[in-house]
């Protein structure tokens, strides 16, 4: 996972490791996946923007 020192500054330093994201066109949501297991972890339903700091799959 990415580190955030110093705490409380409100932004991430570096990318989130072992995660990727892809867009689900049928549900029109971004879905986060664990790259080690391939399992889907989370779905972003709050808005149509991708997760911050997570690499995108092609």
pLDDT tens, residue by residue, 20-57: 999 999 999 999 999 999 999 999 999 999 998 899 99
Cβ-count burial 10-35 (b if 16+ within 10 Å, e if not): eeeeeebeebbbeeeeeeebbbbbee
Whether the pLDDT of residue 1 is over 70: the answer is no
Given this model, what pLDDT does residue 50 score?
95
- Answer yes or no: is pLDDT of 8 > 90: no
Q: Taking the complete model, does pTM exceed 0.85, yes or no?
A: no
For residue 2, what pLDDT is reported? Answer: 64
pLDDT of residue 5 exceeding 80 = no
CA 12, chain centre distance (Å): 12
């Amino acid at each position: 996972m990415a580190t955030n020192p110093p705490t409380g500054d409100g932004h991430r330093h570096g990318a989130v490791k072992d995660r990727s994201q892809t867009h689900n066109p049928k549900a029109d949501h971004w879905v986060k996946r664990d790259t080690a297991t391939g399992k889907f972890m989370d779905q972003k339903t709050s808005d149509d923007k991708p997760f911050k700091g997570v690499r995108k799959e092609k």
